[in-house]
Amino acid sequence: INSMAGQMMAWSLKVQGFLSSRKTKVPILALSLEGDPVSPYSDNQLVALFSHYGQAKKISSKTITKGYEQSLDLAIKWLEDELLR
């Protein structure tokens, strides 16, 4: 794959077959950093829609370190909520 567009298509969740017409019963948490050009929030919303209990969350952070910290905090809280559901 020589072109950037071709490389991006290879990463497409639709092309990989992940976003099929059937929803999964497995809960999915899709996280994205605000302003991320590679994984925009709209893509994460599509991933969350693939699950009956899916959620998409946007991380707004000035630094990547704070972004990772916020994403871990969100993931822990989400997992606790899912285990108690």
pTM: 0.71
- Please state which of the ranges 9-13, 39-43, 53-57 shows the lowest mean pLDDT: 9-13
Is 9 inside any structural domain? no
Question: HSE (CB half, 13 Å, CA atoms) of 28?
Answer: 17
List the beta bridge partners of residue 57.
Answer: 31
Is 67 inside any structural domain? yes
Is 38 inside any structural domain? yes
Is 58 inside any structural domain? yes
- The whole-number pLDDT of residue 19 equals 66
Q: Percent of the chain beyond pLDDT 70?
A: 76
Is 32 inside any structural domain? yes
**In the predicted model, what is the mean pLDDT of residues 53-70?**
89
Q: How many domains does the chain have?
A: 1
**The tokens of 17 are what?**
């077959």
Domain span at residue 74 reads: 23-84
Regarding predicted confidence, which is higher, 3 or 34? 34
